[in-house]
Structure formats: C-alpha cells, structure tokens
Amino acid sequence: MKGYIVGDQKGINSLKFVDMQEPECNDNEAIIKFHSHSLNYRDYMILNQWYGGLKPETLIPLSDGAGEIVEIGTNVKNLKIGDRVCVNFFSDWINGPIHPKYFSSDLGGSTNGTLVEYGAFPAHGIVKLPSSFSYAEGACIPCAGVTAWNTIFEAGKVNKESNVLLLGTGGVSVFGVQIAKAMGANAIITSSSDKKLEVLKSLGADHCINYKSNKDWAANVLEATNGTGADIAIETGGPNTMAHTFEAMSFNGLIGLIGFLSGNANTSLDMMPLIGKNINLRGIAVGSVEMLERLLKCMQTNAIKPYIGKEFHFSEAKEALAYMESQSHIGKIVINH
Ligand SMILES: NC(=O)c1ccc[n+]([C@@H]2O[C@H](COP(=O)([O-])OP(=O)(O)OC[C@H]3O[C@@H](n4cnc5c(N)ncnc54)[C@H](OP(=O)(O)O)[C@@H]3O)[C@@H](O)[C@H]2O)c1
C-alpha cells in the first residue's frame, strides 16, 4: 500500500510518500481503510521538529482520519466489518481526566498516525461515525473539534449567558464558534482578515474583530460584552497573545490554553490580571473517546457540519501542508483518497 512517513523533520519537504507493508491486525485492533484525513497545526509542527523532539523517520503522520473497517481482531466486539468510523487523538484515553499514561497513544506523535491507505488501531480508540457525516467531515472532528468541545463544554461549562472568545479562524476556533452557538452562547472571534471574518459571520459568529488592523482588540471584546469580558476563551496564540486575552476576560473566566501560534518565546507577561480577575488558566490536551462521542451527538442534534476550507487528494499531502503553512485557510483542510 501507499503511505507517508515524516522523514528527517526538516520541514514539509521531509515528508516521504512511500510503498509500505499493509498492517497486520492484532487481537484487540481493527484495520481501517481510510477515505479522508484532516490536517492540524500539530502535523506541521512535527514535520518541523517543533513538537516533542525527533520522531523515528518512519513515523506515519497525522492524528485525524475517517474510513471503513475492513478487518477486526478476535477480541473486538464493538466494531464490525463495514462500519464507518473515525479515530480518537489519544487511542487509550477512553474517559475521565487525562493521565500521563495516555501520552504514548497520541496518533501521529508517539505512535503511528493515519496518513496511509490502511491502518491498524486499538479498537477502544475507534469511534463510529454517524451516517449524517461524510468521511471528509468525520476526519475533521477528532482533534480540532474535541479540543474546542473540551474547552467550551467540559471545562468551560458553557451556558446561554456565556461569552466565548475564539482567536483566529483555524480549525479549532471555527469549531469553537459552532459549538458556542449550538449552546446558545455569544461567540466572539478574531482574525487577521476581514474576508475570513465575513465567512465566520455567515457561520453564526456574533462579533468579529480584526486583530491585525485593531491592535487593541481586547477592548473590542469588552465592548462586545457590555464591559463584562469573555467567560471562556480558547487560547490558540500562546504567550504573545495572552496579555490581550487576560484583558479581554471576565472575572472568574476560564482560558483554555491550547497552542502557540504566536510563538512560544519567553515573554515578560504581566500575570497580575490573572490573579486580580480570578481567571482559571487551564491547559487542554484534546480529549477522550467519550468526549468525541458526546461531541458527535451534539453535532448531530444541532446539525453542525465541520467547515472544510479546502480539500486535496491523497497524493497532494505536501501541497495541503503548504496551504496550511500559508494560513490562507478557514477551518479545516482535508485530504481525500
Ligand atoms: N492542546 C490541544 O489539544 C490542541 C489541539 C488542537 C490544536 N492545538 C493548537 O492550537 C493552535 C490552533 O490549531 P489549529 O489546528 O486550529 O490551527 P490552524 O487551523 O492552522 O489555524 C491557523 C490560523 O490561526 C490564526 N492565527 C495565526 N497566528 C495567530 C495569532 N498570533 N493570533 C491569533 N490567531 C492566529 C490564523 O487565522 P486568521 O488569519 O483568521 O487570524 C491562522 O490561519 C495550534 O497552536 C495548535 O498546535 C492544540
């Protein structure tokens, strides 16, 4: 079969499209024939060696994929051949809070990922895809969708009165708008581009703020919330956007710190607003199998479909990653077979 390996991690061009052996199915595993995959910023980071150091050159990249079951191991009872499925980011995190032991099961990082024709995965980390989702849509949900869901719903305890702040119009943030709106909350999103914000407005965002043309965007968040500030924020920017996010937050609000799109350099960040406002700063690492199942149910109930910005063919993974690098996209980038 054909598949990709990360190579020497010196950038997108390290990615190698190679012939490989089809996987064997162990007793507790199932084999998925992939139809679609989606990219996450982490996949780009891994290819640039910005994510947890060197991986074996033969590591299969990507955490996200959806397809059909073509073989099951002798102990597998929850799946059958022909089932339409997607894979959870952490195969071994089924439920409850995160635990260090789950970190050896993050797909495309510590263990082989999805960017192949056929992959063998532990059956307990495979989730059935409701028939209302295409494979391309299903491939978008496990990493970006679950991260937004975990922050807003599980950690953030969103309600109709909540003001939810999303930074940028990438995969996680667009899911954030959709989930916040499904919960009846007020969704505020920032972007470098007015054109992208027009699309987000059409997806239901209540307040759209250009952070490039408006450096004091936190003041606009306060304005949009009648001076209260955001109750929940998904922090995709990291240390260099955090001071603004502190300013934009309400007293007792929750910041889900998930990424470092603005760089991970040391900054002289003033932590006083965090203390004064009693802000809960919470790290979020994607989520469990049960969170993915709850998100799928919520998306079905509320007719939410992942927003796919652009699709590529399986042979064009480098082009898809270059498109992600250009940050021209909105929402998710999908690779189809
Ligand atoms: N902890 C976790 O579990 C977890 C899970 C998923 C993702 N992440 C992290 O979360 C971040 C977003 O991931 P993603 O896959 O959604 O990324 P993505 O789709 O590649 O999003 C990129 C977009 O973010 C916006 N952006 C870039 N720099 C920004 C900045 N300084 N301030 C605000 N927005 C900025 C840009 O949109 P505009 O042009 O609209 O500004 C850009 O197009 C990444 O750092 C990723 O590693 C973490």
Same domain flag for 21 and 136? yes
Is 159 domain-assigned? yes
Both 98 and 161 in a single domain?
no
Q: Tell me the whole-structure pTM to 2 decimals.
A: 0.98
- Cα–Cα dist 4/296, whole Å: 28
- Ligand 1 pocket, residue 284 CB under 6 Å: yes
**Contact by Cβ (8 Å): 70, 81:** yes
What pLDDT does residue 268 have? 84
Tokens of 215: 């450096």
Residues 95, 48 share a domain: yes
pLDDT for 234 equals: 98
Packing angle between helix 217-224 and helix 239-248, nearest 10 degrees? 30
Q: Is residue 261 part of a domain?
A: yes
Same domain, yes or no: 96 and 51:
yes
Q: What would the pLDDT profile of 92-115 be if each residue is shown by its tens digit?
A: 999 999 999 999 999 999 999 999
Could you tell me if residue 186 is inside a domain? yes
Return the CATH number at 98.
3.90.180.10
What spacing in Å lies between the alpha carbon of 272 and ligand 1's midpoint? 26
> How far apart are the CA of 145 and the centre of ligand 1, in A?
13
Which range marks the domain in which residue 23 is found?
Answer: 2-140+306-336
Q: Residue 49: how many CB atoms within 10 A of its CB?
A: 16
Q: Is 167 in the pocket of ligand 1 (CB under 6 A)?
A: yes
Q: Is residue 57 part of a domain?
A: yes
User: Ligand 1 within 6 A of 39 CB?
Assistant: no
Q: Are 134 and 157 within one domain? A: no
Residues 136 and 149 in one domain: no
The two beta strands, 163-167 and 230-235, are parallel
**Structure token digits, residue 245:** 């996010």
Tell me the per-residue pLDDT of 149-166, one tens digit each, with 9 for 90 and over: 999 999 999 999 999 999
The residue nearest atom 19 of ligand 1, judged by CA position, is 170
Residue 176: predicted pLDDT = 98
Q: What mean pLDDT is predicted for residues 128-156?
A: 98
Overall number of domains in the chain: 2
Residues 195 and 258 in one domain: yes
Chain position carrying tokens 């270059």: 322
Please choose from 63, 258, 261, 332 the residue to mutate so as to test ligand 1's pocket, defined by most ligand atoms within 8 A of CB.
Answer: 261
Distance from residue 205's CA to the centre of ligand 1 (Å): 17
Single out the residue of 106, 121, 127, 128 nearest to residue 43, CA to CA: 106
**325: number of Cβ within 10 Å:** 15
Indicate if 25 and 126 belong to the same structural domain: yes
For residue 45, tell me if it sits in a domain: yes
**Are 172 and 239 in the same domain?**
yes
Q: With a 6 A CB cut-off, is 286 part of the ligand 1 pocket?
A: yes
Contact 187, 214 (CB under 8 A): no
Does some domain include residue 288? Answer: no
- What b/e string do you get for 295-312 counting C-beta neighbours within 10 Å, with b at 16 or more? bbebbeeeebebbbbbeb
Does some domain include residue 292?
A: no
- The pLDDT tens digits for 177-234 are 999 999 999 999 999 999 999 999 999 999 999 999 999 999 999 999 999 999 999 9
Altogether, the residues listed in the chain come to a count of 337
Q: What is the residue-wise DSSP string for 268-337?
A: ----HHHHHTT-EEEE-----HHHHHHHHHHHHHTT----EEEEEEGGGHHHHHHHHHHT---BEEEEE-
Give 51 Cα–ligand 1 centroid separation in angstroms: 15
Same domain assignment for residues 159 and 134 = no
Is 33 within a domain? yes
CA distances from 134 to 80, 129, 334 (A): 19, 9, 12
Spatial separation of the C-alpha atoms in residues 185 and 165, rounded to whole Å: 10
Angle at the Cα of 122 from the Cα atoms of 331 and 173, rounded to 5 degrees: 15
* CATH, residue 193: 3.40.50.720
- CA pair distance 8, 279, nearest whole angstrom: 41
Q: How confident is the model at residue 264, as a pLDDT?
A: 77
- Residue 174 alpha carbon to ligand 1 centre in Å: 10
What average pLDDT does this structure show over 319-324? Answer: 98
Tell me the CA–centroid distance for residue 166 and ligand 1, in Å.
10
pLDDT band at 267 (very low <50, low <70, confident <90, very high): confident
Residue minimizing CA distance to atom 9 of ligand 1: 259
